[in-house]
Amino acid sequence: MAFKTCGRKAFREAAKEAGITILEPVMQVEISAPDECLGDIMGDLNSRRGRVQGMDTGDGSTVVRAQVPLAEMLTYSQTLRSITGGRGDFHMEFSHYDEVPRNIQDKIIAASGAGAEEEEDE
């Protein structure tokens, strides 16, 4: 038990000094929707921490290209259907990993109970 406790403390100390961070998968998303829904789609992407890369317009519809964290895309199908009245479509594929913003990392760490274990050890 003493080795386990010592190892845990050593790992936590090394992790703090190394400045480790949490990464999340970011998806490349292409959304095709009617022009009149564009404002709502852009607002929704911004609320999901999305970064719009560009837009192509034509024939009354617009294709929006953006990068959005996967965690924010889990309910996007229902939202897009609601915004566009079922006339929108999207496709997503993995793009890269990116650092999770610090405020969200703090929430993840608090939810995992890691902070509580540190207090118990000290």
Per-residue model confidence as pLDDT tens for the chain (122 residues):
889 999 989 988 887 888 778 899 999 999 999 999 999 999 999 999 999 999 998 888 899 999 999 999 999 999 999 999 999 999 999 999 999 998 998 888 788 776 555 445 44
Domain annotation covers residue 50: yes
Residue 83 lies in a domain: yes
Is the torsion defined by CA of 7, 10, 12, 14 positive or negative? negative
Domain containing 30 equals 24-117
Is residue 77 domain-resident? yes
Q: Is residue 94 part of a domain?
A: yes
Domain-embedded: residue 16: no
Tell me how many domains the chain contains: 1
DSSP state letters, 106-122:
HHHHHHHTHHHHHHHH-
Looking up tokens 């610090």, which residue turns up?
102
CA 26/CA 50 separation, integer angstroms: 9
Residue 15: partners with Cβ closer than 8 Å, 6 or more residues away: none
Q: What is the DSSP letter of 8?
A: H
Q: What is the pLDDT of residue 111?
A: 85
pLDDT score recorded for residue 98: 95
Residue 49 lies in a domain: yes
Assigned domain for 96 exists = yes
CATH number of the domain where residue 101 is located: 3.30.70.240
